[in-house]
Amino acid sequence: MLIVSMILILVPLIALIYWKVFHNSLSRADLVLKEAADLSFHGRVDSIYFDKQNHNAETLIISDGYQYELYPDWSSLVAMSDSLSKDTGSLKVIVYRNDKMVNVLDYKELVKGFK
């Protein structure tokens, strides 16, 4: 009776762990898209610095207090005093300069280059 109980508990547990580890893992691109969809910020770029503790990532400080780590591919597309707008659920960051849209930073385009 004890052996049957152990089998009934352990077999599904092992199957669940196997499924979670090998069949439900997200790719790097999927993780980036999932995280990007959760982001929301709106404001002007107040300052830009390179975060040495985070692989020297270019980081923008937005006027609403949000710190946005910029992907290297987008580094030349954003400057001081630009305004950035990103809504939750969207995969695009809109860049405005002098009240005109100048760039769209599209996460879907970004992840196409991931291996």
End-to-end Cα, the chain, rounded Å: 51
pTM score > 0.85 for this model? no
Per the CB < 8 A criterion, the answer to whether 77 and 105 are in contact is yes
Burial of 19 from C-beta contacts in 10 A (0-12 / 13-18 / 19+)? exposed
User: What pLDDT is recorded for position 19?
Assistant: 79
* Domain extents in the chain: 29-111
CA–CA separation, 63 vs 42, rounded Å? 8
Residues pairing with 44 in the sheet: 83
Which pLDDT band holds residue 25 (cuts at 50, 70, 90)?
A: low
Segment 64-112, tens digit of pLDDT: 999 999 999 999 999 999 999 999 999 999 999 999 999 999 999 999 9
What pLDDT shows up at residue 115? 67
